[in-house]
Amino acid sequence: MEFGPIWRAARRNKTGPVLIAVQIALTLAVVVNAVFIIQQRIEKITRDNGMDVDNILSVNSAVIGQDFKAELGVREDLRALRTIPGVIAVSASQHVPLSGSGWGTEFAASPESGAPRVNGVQYMMTTDAIQTLGVELVAGREFAEEDMVYAENFSDPQPSLIITQAYADELFPDGDALGQPLYDGLGRPSTIIGIVRRMHGAWVGWDKLSHVALLPRVMPSNSTHYLIRTEPGLVNQTLAQVEAALFGVNDQRVLQELRPMTETKDRSYQGDRGMAVLLGVVTLLMVSVTGVGIIGLASFAVRQRFKQIGTRRAVGARRRDILRYFLLENWMITTAGVVLGTLAALGINYWLMTAYDLERLDPLLLPVGILVIWALGLLAVAGPARRAAGISPAIATRTI
């Protein structure tokens, strides 16, 4: 192998190789961290939210008029929605999960004023909430009709609730949350009658996203959301029948935000998806520009050394010797870039960890990035190297 001569020659004519090595280093450093962020965003978007999002749709109904009785109106609407073919379960809710809109709350495990309070989000829903959301009940029971509170005032007591396992674990680190009372901001107790394995709340970027409380309660409001869970694959078909069902009950209302829950979720993760796409495009561009740079440098080197290659062939180099020379030269430049890039990638990750609370780089990502850059280098130089290997040794005797 011609490591020595290639290294010494590169040192004497270093502008091109240094620029490419720096470009490779930057590409590796940026791409590895970008891919890491993309990976995290994808994990965030695709993480288990505990609900049967694909088969749920939601609609907001705002009844016009002062004589609307929430209890009666909601009961009639629910009854009408249940008659739509393919509907499994229906529940009213004051907000739609994953929508970016919710009712923040905080509960404590003790009535004492100094007791630690844990943030979360609450959804006031009707019976069938568990079945409608498609969440898994791991302890206790679903709401029964006798649990329902049709509140006249915001301050009316709330005797029972269901919370998520994550919320229960935070409130009761020793376990055994079922049956325990929780105390809201006004010190009113609510007994935990059920625990669900997982459910995500309103704000997808919030670190308390999994702290959810479901309350069997209907507020005295003209505006209500309905969550409707259908047989698999029937969401769109059901969407078309919701308006008729609700207007059949009462046509003095405004229906809005009628949409599949997948759309609601997509809207909430739009920023994450946009960031992933943007970083993906940047990654592709950087990799492409680096690849083109390597091709350019190698092509220039071949053109510049046309006679030199002919001379090497004349004094005994086989085609594969020339091919190997260019591949080796490029590999050495790439490797120099990879070494620099590895340090830069770790440096950028450390900065992101300290400045933006990003996690430590996936230990597999850097080796994979290095292999990809090496492969890119070899791929990019393959064409020019093959052209070089095809140069005739007779070039050596040409005077120009």
Partner 1 sequence: MLEMHSVSKVYRTDTVETHALRDFSLQVEEGEFVAVTGPSGSGKTTFLNIAGLLEELSDGAYHLDGEEIGSLGDDARSRIRNEKIGFIFQSFNLIPDLDVFDNVDVPLRYRGFNAAERSRRIDESLERVGLTSRRRHLPSQLSGGQQQRVAIARALAGAPRFLLADEPTGNLDSEMAEAVLGLLNEINAAGTTIVMVTHDPDLARRVPRNVHVLDGRLQAPAQPEAPPIGAPNGLGAAAMSL
User: Which stretches of the chain bind partner 1, using CB under 8 A?
Assistant: 2, 4-5, 8-9, 12-13, 307-308, 311-319, 321, 392-394, 396-397, 399
Closer to partner 1 at the Cβ: 75 or 307?
307
Q: 229 is written with which tokens?
A: 């869970």
Calculate ∠ Cα 176-142-115, nearest 5°.
Answer: 40
- Compute how many other C-beta atoms are within 10 angstroms of the C-beta atom of residue 14: 11
Residue with smaller CB distance to partner 1, 308 or 335: 308
Residues in CB range of 200: below 8 A, 6 or more apart: 49, 50, 51, 97, 98, 209, 210, 212
With both helix axes pointing from N to C terminus, report the angle between 3-12 and 319-356 in degrees, rounded to the nearest 10.
70
**Distance between CA atoms of 242 and 81, rounded to whole angstroms?**
7
Residue 92 belongs to what H/E stretch?
strand 87-93
Smallest gap from Cβ 332 to partner 1, in A, equals 14
Task: State the nearest-atom distance from the C-beta of 367 to partner 1, in Å.
Answer: 32
Which CB sits closer to partner 1, 4 or 175?
Answer: 4
Residue 165 CA to residue 139 CA, distance in Å, equals 9
Q: Residue 25 CB, nearest distance to partner 1 (Å)?
A: 23
How far the first Cα of the chain sits from its last, in Å, is 30
Are the C-beta atoms of residues 56 and 261 closer than 8 Å to each other?
Answer: yes
Question: Residue 2 or 54: which CB sits closer to partner 1?
Answer: 2
Within a 13 Å sphere around the CA of 164, how many CA atoms are in the beta-carbon half? 24
Nearer to partner 1 among residue 218 and residue 309 (C-beta): 309
Nearer to partner 1, 173 or 316 (CB): 316
Find the shortest distance in angstroms from Cβ 398 to partner 1: 8
Question: How many other C-beta atoms can be found within 10 angstroms of the C-beta atom of residue 327?
Answer: 19
Least distance (Å) from partner 1 to the CB of residue 9? 4
In the numeric block, which tokens belong to residue 37? Answer: 């962020």
Question: Based on CB atoms, which residue is closest to partner 1, 282 or 314?
Answer: 314
Taking the complex as a whole, how short is the minimal distance between the CB of residue 395 and partner 1, in angstroms? 8
Residue 374 CB, nearest approach to partner 1 (Å): 24
Residue 297: count of CB within 10 angstroms of its CB: 21
